[in-house]
Amino acid sequence: MSSLSIKRVTIRMKSEKAIVRWGQGLLIVNAAIWVGVGVAWLLRHDGAMALPPWLVWGLGLAMLSYGALLLAVGIQLRLKKRRIHLAAVLLISMAIIGGMFDDLGLADLLGMLPALAALIYLWIHKNTFSGAGPAPKGADHDAIGANQGERA
């Protein structure tokens, strides 16, 4: 292997590592947001709310669980496996879709922006996160199946 080839492989590995780190960071930021919102929801509950306590606790625990799932999947993104990438995309998509079915005020829109940024980033770099490597120059980003020996 020539010295130029070794440099290209090293640069590609560093690039993929940076892509994965950014993806992990975006999912971890989203997880922190959901955990923070869940804790705030549980702490702000008082007896004057119109919601029954079981519903308040159920929603709070659901938010905390969702944050924990995002954190777990975000950490596992480093494995660059297709099913982990799909789980991350599905989890982030749930937050966006759920936010659209809410009243969709300014707070909801601002809360959806980090999830939307993560979803777009995961989509753009889906080959890297699924273990197929970056898309060849001039090719689209649907080379996952072709690079993994599957039919497109």
Confidence of residue 46 (pLDDT cuts 50, 70, 90): low
Closest CA to 81 of 20, 151, 6: 20
Range 43-48 average pLDDT: 72
User: Domain extents for the chain?
Assistant: 24-132
Could you tell me the pLDDT band of residue 102, with boundaries at 50, 70 and 90?
confident
Determine the pLDDT at residue 76.
Answer: 94
pLDDT tens column, 110-135: 878 999 999 999 999 998 888 776 55
Let me know how long the chain is: 152
**Secondary structure string (H, E, C) spanning 1-49:** CCHHHHHHHHHHHHHHHHHHHHHHHHHHHHHHHHHHHHHHHHHCCCCCC
Residue 151 confidence (pLDDT): 45
Predicted local distance difference test score (pLDDT) of residue 143: 47
19-39 pLDDT per residue, tens: 999 999 999 999 999 999 999
Please give the mean pLDDT across all residues of the chain.
81
